Structure 1
């Protein structure tokens, strides 16, 4: 079954990612206002009525700022760890459901699995969202690429992958030393170079889409990051998830990709046979 993905916003000013099929969808994080979430969903032709749950990666404000209003208005269950839940006080307790690493949660035909990551938060997690054979990863706010991240990234048909900062821009920039150290210190964020190395070393051959996520306003440039990846992209569409606007909606359909590849191969083979005749 095809899976549809979109970034509603990505950056330190707010993070919210949509993953769904024809019948149900989930949001990963709710870091922009309920009103802005609704506006962006409408512009993309997506329906809040399909959203059946919100999954929270960690408690930093750019991931939970709009959570309370959104959850209360649509009566959405919020999957969150106990430690992270202490910081989500405006969400009614009856809507909070415990989240545990490697304990899969089923929302219709979507299977959502959380796993731990390195970040300076209480109980930070990344997510793998699966529908049948289609696997989508949401991997942001990552200090270092740990074994959990590598194993899941290597299975993805599409992924949101953090590329937070350019190392030279950060080093030469206006941030104080303690903040630069926090960002690069192993529990902060993933640099362009680190993300690229992940991509080069562990991208599966069938990955169709990569959205570079959580780019810094001050220490990165969207086109710089994208151009860094393009020579290594192959058949993967690499785009940047904006901190100002929603992305396009991307259809992730491994079966369709296989069919399309087969048609292309048949066309090439037919042309080759015609040339020999």
Structure 2
């Protein structure tokens, strides 16, 4: 059995859980250890199963809780060398494993495929996590859906896909001009429209569940994002994420896993 959920998703903190009955990994630790522990307890997820935290980039909303979580719970943080060096030293865990974007890392039942993405960070990385035949993508903070991202998304069964902003809300919203331009740039974030177009262009694939992720508090609304994807619900299960609470857990049982491995 495999469980997948967002512990937190948004500009105030991101953390994504992928786990079997015996072991688990997190992607990002952008909220405090206390909040991660609290939310995992609410979901009846055991922190002792978490063997590693994979960090996408050095921005605080993705790495803020890494050091304390890893040091207190005996977990290893996985980062690229540039990300580790760029990150504030308060975020450096005692146990850190350095990898290069593009590497695939074997960890127990997991194979974590890393690949570069477009974002305004020093060495931003996305992940496709393969476990017992299931593929889960964590694809947020993306300025542009490049061909590499499309290739990995096509291989996914479940994806955390960025749906950061509504174009009109951003245009009419409180952000200054330079920040609006940064959000919309090819090193910024994906809009609802861009994320919808990405799925519309997918064609035949294994993808069946999409978590709408990193939804902006100022420039988007959950109901607006969900409405944008409404016409795709006959093809995909579309689920929202939340910055203040964990998402729904998607559970894949043994019978379903057997189908993935046929």
TM-score tier after normalising by the smaller chain length: over 0.9
- 1: distance between equivalents of 2:184 and 2:142? 10
The 3 A distance-change label for structure 1 pair 66 and 93 is closer
- 2: distance between equivalents of 1:3 and 1:236? 19
| TM-score (norm. length: structure 2) | 0.94
Deviation at 1:38, TM superposition (A): 0.2
- 2: distance between equivalents of 1:203 and 1:41? 35
Kindly report which structure 2 residues correspond to 1:53-132, keeping only aligned pairs within 5 A, or say none: 53-86=52-85, 87-90=87-90, 94-132=94-132
Partner of 1:135: 135
Secondary structure, counterpart of 1:202 in structure 2: coil
Question: Once the two structures are superposed, what CA deviation does each residue of 1:81-135 show, in whole Å capped at 9, x if it has no partner?
Answer: 1111021523556511112122211221111011000000000000000013210
- 1: distance between equivalents of 2:152 and 2:42? 31
Q: Is contact 2:6–2:17 with CA below 8 Å preserved after alignment?
A: yes
Partner of 1:32: 31
Residue 204 of structure 2 corresponds to residue 178 of structure 1: no
Query: Unaligned 5+ residue runs, structure 1?
Result: 260-277
Secondary structure, counterpart of 2:90 in structure 1: coil
Partner of 2:202: 202
Partner of 2:13: 14
- 2: distance between equivalents of 1:93 and 1:66? 10
- After TM superposition, which residue ranges in structure 1, 4 or more long, deviate above 4 angstroms? 91-94
The 3 A distance-change label for structure 1 pair 166 and 258 is farther
Secondary structure, counterpart of 1:90 in structure 2: helix
Partner of 2:40: 41
| TM-score (norm. length: structure 1) | 0.89
- 2: distance between equivalents of 1:96 and 1:251? 30
Partner of 1:187: 187
Q: Is contact 1:8–1:37 with CA below 8 Å preserved after alignment?
A: yes
Aligned residues: CA RMSD: 1.7
Deviation at 1:195, TM superposition (A): 0.4
- 2: distance between equivalents of 1:173 and 1:204? 37
- 1: distance between equivalents of 2:238 and 2:94? 40
The 3 A distance-change label for structure 1 pair 245 and 110 is same
Question: Once the two structures are superposed, what CA deviation does each residue of 1:186-222 show, in whole Å capped at 9, x if it has no partner?
Answer: 1000000000011111164432211000010010010
Partner of 1:275: none
Question: Once the two structures are superposed, what CA deviation does each residue of 1:240-267 show, in whole Å capped at 9, x if it has no partner?
Answer: 11111101211135952887xxxxxxxx
Q: Is contact 2:66–2:93 with CA below 8 Å preserved after alignment?
A: no
Query: Unaligned 5+ residue runs, structure 2?
Result: none
Deviation at 1:179, TM superposition (A): 0.0
- 2: distance between equivalents of 1:51 and 1:178? 39
- 2: distance between equivalents of 1:24 and 1:220? 35
Q: How many residues align?
A: 258
- 2: distance between equivalents of 1:109 and 1:220? 37
Deviation at 1:237, TM superposition (A): 1.2
- 2: distance between equivalents of 1:184 and 1:232? 24
